[in-house]
Structure 1
Amino acid sequence: MIQPNMPETTNWRFEIDVERLGWLTIDTPNSPVNTLSRLAIEELETLVVRFEELAKSGELVGVILLSGKDSGFIAGADVSEFDAMSDFSVLPGALQRTHALFSRIEALKVPMVAGIHGFCLGGGLELALACHYRVAVNNDKTRIGFPEVNLGIFPGFGGTGRSIRQAGPVDAMQLMLTGRMIRAGAARGFNLVDKLVRHRDMLRWEARKAVLQKRESSEAGFAKKVMAMGPLRGYIANKMREQVGKKARKEHYPAPYALIDLFEQHGDNWQAMSHGEIERFVPLMGSDTATNLRRVFFASEALKKQGIKGAKFARVHVIGAGVMGGDIAAWCALRGMSVTLQDLDMARIQPALDRGKKLFKKRLKKKREVDAAMLRFEADPEGKGAARADVIIEAVVEKLEVKQSIFGELEFKAKPDAILATNTSSIELERIAEKLKQPERLIGLHFFNPVAQLPLVEVIRSTFNTDDAIGRGAAFALAIGKSPVVVKSAPGFLVNRVLMPYMLAAVERVEKGESKELLDAAAVAFGMPMGPIELMDTVGLDVGKSVATELGHAVPEGSNFDTLVKAGKLGRKTGEGFYKWEDGKAQKGDVPSHADLAGLGRELVKPLVDMTEVVVAEGDVANDGLADIGVIMGTGFAPFLGGPIKARKDGKA
C-alpha cells in the first residue's frame, strides 16, 4: 500500500494500493459502532478535497469506503451531539456544510463505492447514497434504514431526495416514515443497494471490481417516479397522512407530517427535496418531541449496560406452557437458544409449539430457518431439560405454594450456575424463595404479553439477591433481544403497580356511568397507545382482577367488572369483556363530544403518574430515567413526553 500525503484524521484511515485504488476506512475511536460526529464530517471534508486533487493528477482511480468495525458500516449521526446541534444558530450551517460535502462526493471524477455490512442507518445510509455504487453483505446482520423518525426528526443530510431518486417515492417515503430497518435483499429490491455478496470478506473484491469497471447505480424507473408527478403526488401525500394518522397524532409527532409536506412540495425533484430538508428539519431538532425522544433513546441505551459482560446462554428450560410460558419459550428459540418446554402433558404443550411455529414463519420467512427454530424448540413433559439449562424460567399459575414447590425441586436439579427465574407478575420474590436453601439464586424475569411485541423485561431483585445474579439476569434479557429494567421485589413491581390504579380508576368511572369510548379516546388523545378500558380487556379481566387483589385493590362484589369475570367474559381472549371483540378488535360505539379530550386524558393518567413517583421515592427503581423508560416500554406511555416523571416535571401530566 502507498501512503499518500493525507491530512491527519482520528475517525478515518486512507491508503492507496498499486492499482491506484483508494481504501477509506471509518473507525470511530473508543466506540463499538461508527458514527458521523461533527469531527468525522469535518475530517471527511478534508479527505474529499485531497481525493479531488489525487483524481485530477491521475494518482487515484476510485475510492472504496469500508468500516473497520465488526458491528457494521455506520450507525448514523452521533446522537450525543444532538442537544448542542439543536441550537438554531449552529444547526443550519452544519447541515448546509454536510449537504455540500455529500454533493462533492457525488461530483467526484472517480467512482466512490460503499461496502456495507451490519448496520447502515440514518446518516450512514445518507453517506452511502451519496456514493456512486453500493455493495452489501446479504446476511441477517445487515440492516439498512432511516430510524430518524424515532428521534422526532427525518433524514437531514440529503437522504430524503437521494432515497427517492433510488427507490422511488412510495418505497423511500415508507422507509423514512416508519423508521424500519430492512435486510440487504429488501434494500436491493428497493434499489438502495446495487450488489449483494454472501460474506464480509467478499466486499473488498466486489467493490474493487465496481471501481475498475466504473459502475454507477441506476435511478428508480419511470413506473416508480410517476407516483410523484402532477396531481398524483398530492393524492399520495394525503394517503400517507391518513396512514400516519392511524399511529401518530401531528401535535405529538410532527416529524412524519413535516416530511410528507416536504414530499408534497418537492417530491418530483430529488435535488429540490434534498435542499428543502434544512428549512423543515431545523425546527424539528429543537422541538419538545425530539428532545424527549432523545432522552428515551439514551435511557434505552443505558439499559444495555446493566448486564454482566461475557455471560453466555445456550439452553433455556421453561416450566408452564400456557400463553405466557409458551410464548417466552418460543421467543427464546427464535433468538437462537435451545429450549425445552415443560408442562403436565403434550396436550398442554402442543398449542405452544403450534404458536411458536406461527411466530417463526412470520419472523424468519425461509423454511430452513423455520425448521431450524422448531428443532431448537422441544417439548419436555418430564422436565429433563432442567438439568442442562443455563436459564430456567417458571411461568405457571400465580399461586405461591405451586411456585415454592417447583423451585424446591429445581434447586437440586439445576446446574449450580444456572439462573433460576420466576415470571410472576405480582408475588414478592422473598415469599417464593423463603423455603429454598439458596434463596439468593431466585430472581424475577417478568415478561409482558404479547412477548414477541413488547420489549420490556423487569428483572426483579429480592433482598436475597447479589449484584452478580441480577447482572446475569439482565444479560440474559439482552441476549434474547429484550430491554431489562431492574426493579426491587414489591407487589406489582413497576409496570403492574403503576398500571393498576390507572385502569381501575377508569373502570370505576365506567361503573358510575361514564362512556368507556370517551375515556379510551381521551387517553389516546393524551398520547397513550390505547385507552384504559380497552387495555383491561386486552390484559384479561381475570388477570386484572387477580393482580388488583394481589395489590390490595378490591373489585367490589356485584360491580359490572365482578359480574363480567364471573360470567367468563374476560375481554379479548373470550370475545367479550367491557367491549365485544371481533377479529381481535374492540367493537366501539360513538365517542361522545368533549371540549378537551387531551385534558381528560391527562386527568385519567394522573394515578399512573402519581404511582410512578411513589415507586421512585420508595427506591423500587434506581432513578427517574429507569422509571420513565420502564413505564414507556411496559405500558406504552407517550414517548414524546419522555415518560411520566418527565411529563410531570414539564407540567404536561
Structure 2
Amino acid sequence: MPAPSYTERVTVVRPSDVEVPGLGTAALLVLVAEDGSDRPCSLGPTGLANLEAAVAEAGSRAARGEVGAVVLTGGGRTFLAGADLTMMRAATTADEVRALAEAGHRLVAAIADLPVPTLAHLNGAALGGGLEIALACDHRTAAPGVRAIGLPEVTLGLLPGWGGCTVLPRLVGPDAALTVILDNPARANTLLDAAGAQRLGVVDVVVGSLEAALEHLGATVTAGRAGGPATAEQAGGPAGAESIAPAGGAVPVPADEAAWSAAVGARRERARAAAAGGAPAAARALGIVEASRTRTRAESFAAEDDGLTELVMTDQCRASLYAADLLGHRTARPGRPEGVEPRPVTSVGIAGAGLMAGQLALLLARSLRVPVTMRDLDDERAARGLAAVRAEIGRMRERGRLDEATAEELTGLVTVTTDLTDLAGADLVVEAVFEELEVKRAVLSELEGVVSPTAVLATNTSALSVTAMAEHLRHPERVVGLHFFNPVAQMPLVEVVRARRTDDPTYATAFAVADRCRKTSVAVADAPGFVVNRLLVRLLGEVLGSLEEGTTVAEADAALVPMGLPMGPFQLLQLVGPAVAEHVLITLREQLGERYPDSPGLRAVVASGRAFVTGGGRPTAASPVDPAVEELFGSRRSPEPLDAAGVLRRVQLALAEETHLLLREGVVSGAEDVDLAMILGAGWPAHNGGLTPYLDRTGAAEERGGRFHPRGVADLP
C-alpha cells in the first residue's frame, strides 16, 4: 500500500426553493458529488467552501426576507459522511489539519446563526462531521431506512471536531451524548438507526419523505410561535435541550450539573485505560466534553480545533486511518480466483456435533438458508449437539435477534445423525472434529467414500496442514481450509487456506461461502498456524518463555498493556484453554522450530488443572491473574530475568521476526493481509493500525529485517 496522496472528491450544493407549510419559501440545499456519482459525500477544503458559500447566500436571502427557512439534505445514498479522511491521512503539517477543523467550525457556526429556522433531513448516513453539521440546525428529521447515524471519530484516533463535543451534550444531555461519542464507538463502532436516533433525541422524528420533513418543520415552528410546543418532541429535541449560543456568547449549562459530572466520571477510567494502551482520542474527547460545560462556544470550538489537530499529527491517528482504509476495502484483497464460478451449495454437512460444529451449523443454516446436517459418532453426542443449537436459536429469539418464523425455519434446517451416509447429498461438508492430524485425515477419508465427486470438503483446522490431511485422498483438489474463529457468530474473519492441490472452483466456493456468511476472508497459503494463530502463539510463547527464565507473572502481565490488546496474555491463555495452548505450541514448535519455546510450566498447569486467572466462568479482560501460578514456572532461570519493558521488547522483536518470515514464505500476499487478519481474527487494536504499523513504529521491524511500510502509509510522513 503506497503512501496516501490527496485528490479531493468534491461535494457541491444544488440550491433550489421549496414551500414549507406555514413558513412560505425555504432555501433547499442538496449535497451531491461533483462527479455525479452516488458515492458517499464527504467534505474536504473545496467541499466545505462550497457549502459555506451556499449557507452564506441562504443567510443573505433570509435577511432580505426572501426565504423563511433553510433546509439541508443529501442527494444520493448519504446525507453526509463527514470530513474527508483521505485528506487527513495525506496531511503533512498541522496547519493543513487546523485549517480543515476551523473551516468546519465556521460552517457549523454559520448554520447555527442563520436568522430563520433550519432543518437537516437525513436521507441517508450522517457520520462524523456530517452529523455535526446536522446538529447545527434547529431541527432534524431522518428517513426510516437510515441505518448509520453517529460520531465514530474516536475509533479513527480522532475526536468530533466540528462541534460534536460542544453541541451534542446540550441537545441530548451529557450521558446520551457520550453514548454517541464514546460508548457506541467502543462497541465495535455501533451506529444509530433512524429510530434509535429519535429515541436518543438526536433527531426529532422519523419521516418517510422530504415533503413530510418540511411539513414537520412548518408545524413545529408554527406551534412554537403560537405559544410553544406541547411536547419536547414537537420542539425538535428532548426535554431540557438547549441550543448552542451565537459565537462568543455564553453557552447554556444544563441545570443538572451533577448528572454532567456523573456522565463524565462513568467513562473516565475506560478512557484512561485506552490511553495507556496507545489510544488517546477517547480521553481527549472526554476532556473537551467535560470542560465545554462552562465554556463559550468559541472557547469550546477552539479546544476542539486544538484536540483534532494534535491527534491527527500523531502516528497513532495515522495508523488508525490506515486500518480504517484497509477495513473499508477488505473485500478487494488479493488471492481469490478470478473468473471462476463457485460450485452451488444447496445442502451442507458438518462432521462433528461439538461446540464448534454446532456454531458452524447454525451460522451456515442462517446464512445460506439450506439444510445442514451434523454427524457424530453416537446418539448421545449427536443429541447434545442438536440441543445446543436449538438452545442458541431460542436465546436469539428471546433477545429479539430472530423473529418467530425465522427461528422456526432454522430449527427445521439443522438436523443431526450418526449415519455417515446421511451426508452423501451435501455439496459442502465441513469437518470440525478434534484438532489432531490423523483424526482429521480419517474423517476426510470416510467422507470421500460417501459424498459426490463434486462436493467440497472443508476443514476448520486452526493450525494443521490441509495438504497433509488431503494427500491420501483420491481427489485432494476438492479439499480446502475454512478456518472460522471462535465464537463463530461474532468473529468476522475466515482464513481461506489453499492446499497444494486445491483447485480453483473449490477455492472460489470457499470464498463464496464465507461471503454469504458475511465474513471477511483472507487468502492464506497452507503453512503451520496460518497467520493469526502463528503470530498469537509466538506472542504467548515469548511470554511463557520469559516466565521460564524467571520473570514474575506480575511483570509479564503488565508488559503488554502498552500494546492495547483486548485482553492480557494470561486471560487469553485461559480463554483458549491451557491444554489447547500447549497442543498448538508443541505443534508449531515441531513444525517451525525452537523459536516457539518449550514450556514445562505450561505442561504443569495442564497436568495440575490450575488456572492462570481466578474466578469462575469465561475469562474476560477483567479476570484477575493468579500470581501463585508463577511457582510452576522457572525451569531455566536467568541471572537477570526480564522486567515488563524487557518482555514487551522481546515480544515486539519476536512478532517482527515471525511476520517477516511468513511474508517471505508467501503465506499471505502482503503486510496488509497480516493486519487485516490480526485486527479481525485476534482483536489487534485498529488504533495501532494492526500489527505491522505497530512494529514499524516501535522500531522492531527494522531491527528484525526492515520496515513493512514506507513512512507515511500508517504513520506520519
Shorter-chain TM range is 0.7 to 0.9
Task: Give the stretch that moved more between structures: 126-135 or 305-314.
Answer: 305-314
Q: CA deviation at 1:332?
A: 4.7
Identify the match of residue 559 of structure 1 among 600, 604, 607.
600
Q: Which runs of 5+ in 1 are unaligned?
A: 1-8, 570-575
Residue type at the aligned position of 1:322:
G
Matched, 1:495 2:532: yes
In the alignment, what sits opposite 1:282? Answer: 309
Structure 1 residues 52-108: Cα deviation after superposition (integer angstroms, max 9, x where no partner): 3444566545454444444x4333322211123462122222222221112222333
Contact 2:355 2:385 (C-alpha < 8 Å) held by counterparts? no
- Measure, in 2, the Cα distance between the counterparts of 1:39 and 1:315: 51
Matched, 1:195 2:231: no
Pick closer, same or farther for the CA change 1:185–1:387 going to 2, 3 Å: farther
Contact 1:313 1:337 (C-alpha < 8 Å) held by counterparts? no
Matched, 1:451 2:488: yes
Q: CA deviation at 1:218?
A: 3.7
- Measure, in 1, the Cα distance between the counterparts of 2:645 and 2:599: 32
Where relative contact order (Cα < 8 A, 6+ residues apart) is larger, the structure is: 2
Q: CA deviation at 1:230?
A: 5.0
Identify the match of residue 46 of structure 1 among 49, 53, 62.
53
Residue type at the aligned position of 2:198:
R
**Superposed counterparts of 1:369-408, under 5 Å:** 371=407, 374-375=410-411, 378-381=414-417, 392-404=429-441, 406-407=443-444
Name the SS for the 2:668 alignment partner. coil
- Measure, in 2, the Cα distance between the counterparts of 1:389 and 1:14: 58
Name the SS for the 1:90 alignment partner. helix
- Measure, in 1, the Cα distance between the counterparts of 2:169 and 2:481: 47
Identify the match of residue 326 of structure 1 among 358, 362, 379.
358
Identify the match of residue 424 of structure 1 among 444, 453, 461.
461
Contact 2:220 2:235 (C-alpha < 8 Å) held by counterparts? no
Q: CA deviation at 1:227?
A: 7.1
**Superposed counterparts of 1:430-469, under 5 Å:** 430-436=467-473, 438-465=475-502, 469=506
In the alignment, what sits opposite 2:106? Answer: 100
Pick closer, same or farther for the CA change 1:213–1:236 going to 2, 3 Å: closer
Residue type at the aligned position of 1:559:
P
In the alignment, what sits opposite 2:239? Answer: 221
In the alignment, what sits opposite 2:40? Answer: 33
**Superposed counterparts of 1:164-179, under 5 Å:** 164-178=169-183, 179=185
In the alignment, what sits opposite 1:293? Answer: 320
- Measure, in 2, the Cα distance between the counterparts of 1:610 and 1:153: 31
Q: CA deviation at 1:153?
A: 0.9
- Measure, in 2, the Cα distance between the counterparts of 1:340 and 1:174: 40
In the alignment, what sits opposite 1:3? Answer: none
Q: CA deviation at 1:427?
A: 2.0
- Measure, in 1, the Cα distance between the counterparts of 2:56 and 2:196: 34
Pick closer, same or farther for the CA change 1:158–1:464 going to 2, 3 Å: same
Task: Give the stretch that moved more between structures: 167-176 or 230-239.
Answer: 230-239
Matched, 1:521 2:569: no
Pick closer, same or farther for the CA change 1:243–1:506 going to 2, 3 Å: closer
Structure 1 residues 396-419: Cα deviation after superposition (integer angstroms, max 9, x where no partner): 222445544555576698789876
- Measure, in 1, the Cα distance between the counterparts of 2:391 and 2:459: 24
- Measure, in 2, the Cα distance between the counterparts of 1:236 and 1:359: 31
Residue type at the aligned position of 2:542:
A
Identify the match of residue 645 of structure 1 among 692, 698, 708.
692
Matched, 1:604 2:636: no
Pick closer, same or farther for the CA change 1:74–1:273 going to 2, 3 Å: same
- Measure, in 2, the Cα distance between the counterparts of 1:546 and 1:119: 47
Contact 2:342 2:508 (C-alpha < 8 Å) held by counterparts? no
- Measure, in 2, the Cα distance between the counterparts of 1:543 and 1:103: 58
Q: Which of the two has higher C-alpha Rg?
A: 2
Q: CA deviation at 1:168?
A: 0.6
- Measure, in 2, the Cα distance between the counterparts of 1:65 and 1:467: 50
Matched, 1:578 2:612: yes
In the alignment, what sits opposite 1:262? Answer: 288
Contact 2:156 2:687 (C-alpha < 8 Å) held by counterparts? no
Q: CA deviation at 1:268?
A: 4.7
Contact 1:177 1:256 (C-alpha < 8 Å) held by counterparts? yes
In the alignment, what sits opposite 2:135? Answer: 129
- Measure, in 2, the Cα distance between the counterparts of 1:442 and 1:524: 40
Paired-residue identity, %: 28
- Measure, in 2, the Cα distance between the counterparts of 1:157 and 1:257: 17
In the alignment, what sits opposite 1:237? Answer: 264
Contact 2:29 2:54 (C-alpha < 8 Å) held by counterparts? no
Q: CA deviation at 1:535?
A: 1.5
Name the SS for the 1:544 alignment partner. helix
Task: Give the stretch that moved more between structures: 508-517 or 402-411.
Answer: 402-411
Q: CA deviation at 1:611?
A: 0.9
In the alignment, what sits opposite 1:634? Answer: 681
Residue type at the aligned position of 1:519:
A
Residue type at the aligned position of 2:206:
L
Pick closer, same or farther for the CA change 1:398–1:117 going to 2, 3 Å: farther
Q: CA deviation at 1:543?
A: 1.8
- Measure, in 1, the Cα distance between the counterparts of 2:31 and 2:424: 46
Name the SS for the 1:89 alignment partner. helix
- Measure, in 1, the Cα distance between the counterparts of 2:147 and 2:285: 26
Task: Give the stretch that moved more between structures: 83-92 or 414-423.
Answer: 414-423
Pick closer, same or farther for the CA change 1:372–1:383 going to 2, 3 Å: farther
Pick closer, same or farther for the CA change 1:472–1:336 going to 2, 3 Å: closer
Q: CA deviation at 1:112?
A: 3.8
Contact 1:117 1:137 (C-alpha < 8 Å) held by counterparts? yes
Residue type at the aligned position of 1:262:
I
Q: CA deviation at 1:166?
A: 1.7
Name the SS for the 2:95 alignment partner. coil
Pick closer, same or farther for the CA change 1:561–1:507 going to 2, 3 Å: same
Pick closer, same or farther for the CA change 1:511–1:600 going to 2, 3 Å: closer
Pick closer, same or farther for the CA change 1:590–1:354 going to 2, 3 Å: same
- Measure, in 2, the Cα distance between the counterparts of 1:578 and 1:478: 37
- Measure, in 2, the Cα distance between the counterparts of 1:631 and 1:136: 36
Residue type at the aligned position of 1:447:
F
Structure 1 residues 301-324: Cα deviation after superposition (integer angstroms, max 9, x where no partner): 232213779989986735133222
Q: Over aligned residue pairs, what C-alpha RMSD do you find?
A: 3.8
Q: CA deviation at 1:561?
A: 2.5
- Measure, in 2, the Cα distance between the counterparts of 1:186 and 1:421: 40
In the alignment, what sits opposite 1:160? Answer: 165
- Measure, in 2, the Cα distance between the counterparts of 1:392 and 1:22: 60
- Measure, in 2, the Cα distance between the counterparts of 1:268 and 1:132: 22
Q: CA deviation at 1:16?
A: 3.6
Task: Give the stretch that moved more between structures: 400-409 or 628-637.
Answer: 400-409
Q: Which runs of 5+ in 2 are unaligned?
A: 1-9, 222-233, 243-251, 377-381, 631-640, 701-717
- Measure, in 2, the Cα distance between the counterparts of 1:350 and 1:331: 15
Contact 2:586 2:598 (C-alpha < 8 Å) held by counterparts? no
Contact 1:166 1:190 (C-alpha < 8 Å) held by counterparts? no
- Measure, in 2, the Cα distance between the counterparts of 1:472 and 1:195: 45
